[in-house]
């Protein structure tokens, strides 16, 4: 799976042979799912039967750099009995499609098909941050919870969240927090604050 890192980053697959080098378009939307641990309880303290070491070994099978290239990372819990039996209808697909289409129109106005395509050097121009939002990202970087690549990705996601709310840039602190919340690190155990 780690071989996908380069295509994911550049959107092309490059095949190089002795005489020629060919590029194939590979702009994909990659959706992947994994179990949180061997037993499937996701390390929920008290419920999970996995040893911390075996859980970590299991999670390490997906490399950090590969995880870093996913814009959205969510934990999906096992639904409770109530949720299974009394599910309220969520937004319809049509409603969501409308939202997505309008967000796409905003992206198109920036000259890209999707916010994910905005090159890093244009982020300051196309997705400016409020001072508070910048401060939150600075804190995450300083605490080592965000990589350089992750920073760009979070900013693009935060821009999309802003677009979905149909509000104009700059990207505010709420959008940044929400984007961070959608970027879960399954391996992370926070260092205890002294």
Partner 1 sequence: MDIPPIAYAAALAGLPQMAPARLRGLLERHEARAVWDHTVRGVLTRLLPVPPLPEQRERLQLLARHAAAEASRIDPGFVWQQCLDLAVTVTLVQDPAYPSALAADHAAPAVLFHRGDLDALDGPRVAVVGTRSSSAGGRQLAARLGEGLAAAGVRVVSGLAKGIDGAAHQGALRVDGAPPIGVAGTGHGHPYPTEHAELWDHVVARGVLLTEVPPHCTPLPFRFPARNRLIAALADAVVVVESRARGGSMITVDEAARRSVPVLAVPGLPGTRGAEGTNQLIYDGCQLVRDHVDVLVHLGLLARPCISPDARSRPAPADQQVLDLIGGEPADLESVVAGTGWSIAEAMAALTRLEDGGHLERVGPWYQPVPPAASR
The piece of 5-13, 99-107, 148-156, 183-191 that touches partner 1 (CB under 8 A) is 183-191
Question: Does 33 interact with partner 1 (rule: CB under 8 A)?
Answer: no
Alpha helices in 60-147 (DSSP H): 64-68, 81-85, 93-109, 123-126, 131-142
Q: Kindly state the smallest distance separating residue 187's Cβ from partner 1, in Å.
A: 7
Beta bridge partners of 14: 23
For residues 151 and 182, which CB has a smaller minimum distance to partner 1 in the complex? 182
User: Of residues 156-175, which lie at the interface with partner 1 (CB under 8 A)?
Assistant: 173-175
Token pair belonging to 61 = 């099978």
CA angle (59, 60, 65) in 5-degree steps: 115
Token pair belonging to 141 = 């970087």
For residues 29 and 194, which CB has a smaller minimum distance to partner 1 in the complex? 194
User: Of residues 127-156, which lie at the interface with partner 1 (CB under 8 A)?
Assistant: 136, 139-140, 143
User: In this structure, are residues 99 and 166 in contact, taking their beta carbons and an 8 Å threshold?
Assistant: no
CA angle (134, 164, 73) in 5-degree steps: 65
- All residues at 6 or more sequence positions from 144 whose CB lies less than 8 Å from its CB, including other chains: none
Q: Kindly state the smallest distance separating residue 181's Cβ from partner 1, in Å.
A: 3
Binding mask 64-83 for partner 1 (x = CB under 8 A): -----------x-x------
DSSP string for 31-45: -----SSTTSSTT-T
The piece of 2-10, 13-21, 103-111, 186-194 that touches partner 1 (CB under 8 A) is 186-194
For residues 123 and 179, which CB has a smaller minimum distance to partner 1 in the complex? 179
For residues 107 and 136, which CB has a smaller minimum distance to partner 1 in the complex? 136
C-alpha 148/C-alpha 153 separation (Å) is 9
Question: Does 50 interact with partner 1 (rule: CB under 8 A)?
Answer: no
C-alpha 85/C-alpha 72 separation (Å) is 28
Q: Which residues bind partner 1 (CB under 8 A)?
A: 36, 42-46, 55, 59, 75, 77, 136, 139-140, 143, 173-175, 177-178, 180-182, 184-190, 192-194
């Amino acid at each position: 799976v780690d071989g996908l890192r380069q295509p994911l980053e550049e959107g092309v697959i490059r095949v190089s042979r002795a005489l020629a080098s060919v590029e194939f378009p590979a702009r994909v939307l990659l959706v992947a799912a994994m179990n949180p641990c061997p037993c499937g309880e996701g390390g929920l303290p008290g419920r999970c039967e996995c040893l911390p070491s075996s859980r970590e070994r299991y999670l390490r099978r997906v490399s950090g750099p590969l995880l870093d290239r996913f814009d959205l990372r969510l934990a999906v819990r096992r639904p409770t009995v109530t949720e299974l039996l009394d599910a309220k209808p969520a937004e319809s697909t049509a409603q969501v499609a409308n939202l997505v289409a309008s967000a796409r129109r905003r992206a198109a106005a920036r000259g890209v098909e999707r916010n994910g395509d905005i090159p890093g050097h244009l982020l300051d121009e196309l997705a400016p941050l409020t001072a508070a939002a910048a401060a939150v990202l600075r804190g995450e970087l300083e605490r080592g919870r965000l990589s350089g690549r992750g920073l760009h990705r979070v900013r693009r996601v935060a821009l999309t969240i802003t677009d979905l709310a149909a509000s104009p840039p700059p990207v505010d602190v709420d959008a940044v927090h929400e984007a961070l919340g959608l970027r879960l690190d399954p391996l992370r155990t926070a260092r205890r604050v002294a």
